[in-house]
Amino acid sequence: MGNDFRGIAGELDDARIALERFSTPATAAALERIADALAERLLGGGKMLACGNGGSAADAMHFCEELTGRYRDDRPSIAAIACIDPGHITCTANDYGYEYVFSRWVEGLGRQGDALIVMSTSGNSRNMLRAIEAARVRGVLTVGLLGKGGGVMRGLCDLEIVAPGETADRVQELHMLALHTLVGGIERRLLASAGALS
């Protein structure tokens, strides 16, 4: 039991350290820029697309349901789609290869004025790289939530956040915090715009 307790305490301490490294004025400024850009796309009639592998796929789904459903307060639904359809994923992986599951989806759904949020704890996922390429061709804004230094994806998106952390779980925890702050930021900007127009 003593070893388990020390292990759990160590996990909590790791999370605290990662959060302290993440909670900086530079991170806040980057998230403000991303929220501005996403709200601008939405106000222009665009939609949010989000994708990730494994736990990041669950994060993409969570992000989108808080836009289409609700976050903290009632407001109109916000256009957002996560690439989590098992029919699409298994069909594309079977017929083309797993590295194409997200790029084919962007090809089908992405339009100029949309935004694509890609999440990769390593920054090295080939299917994310292909999705970014497909988005660029279509004039879709790309936002990367990355980890472990950003990997090969660092610098490839229009906007990005690189979360600190040595393991995927720490990075994903910070990605979810970033996603929650972005949902709140988007809501505030859309509300402010609606008030300015009324």
So where are the chain's domains? 2-197
How far is residue 178's CA from residue 184's CA, in Å, rounded to a whole number?
Answer: 10
- How far apart CA 166 and CA 45 sit, in angstroms, is 38
DSSP string, 5-64: HHHHHHHHHHHHHHHHHH-SHHHHHHHHHHHHHHHHHHHTT--EEEEESTHHHHHHHHHH
Say what the pTM is.
0.93
pLDDT of res. 19:
96
The CA distance from 171 to 123, in Å, is 11
Rounded average pLDDT over 109-124: 97
Angle among Cα 24, 25, 28 to the nearest 5 degrees reads: 90
Alpha carbons within 13 angstroms on the beta-carbon side of residue 21 total 17
* pLDDT tens digits for range 132-179: 999 999 999 999 999 999 999 999 999 999 999 889 999 999 999 999
| Residue 131: CA count within 13 A, CB half-sphere | 33
- Provide the pLDDT for residue 157: 98
* Calpha distance 85→81 (Å, rounded): 10
The answer, yes or no, to whether residue 195 has pLDDT greater than 80, is: no
Q: What's the pLDDT score for residue 52? A: 98
Characterize the bridge pairing of strands 80-82 and 48-52: parallel
pLDDT at 170: 95
Distance linking the first and last C-alpha atoms of the chain: 61
d(CA 20, CA 123): 21
Residue 50 near residue 81, CB atoms below 8 Å? yes
In tens, the pLDDT along 53-97 reads: 999 999 999 999 999 999 998 999 999 999 999 999 999 999 999
According to CATH, the topology of domain 2-197 is Rossmann fold (3.40.50)
pLDDT digits (tens, 9 = 90+) for 101-114: 999 999 999 999 99
Q: With bands split at pLDDT 50, 70 and 90, how would you rate the model's confidence at 28? A: very high
Q: Has residue 198 got a pLDDT over 60?
A: no
pLDDT for position 193: 87
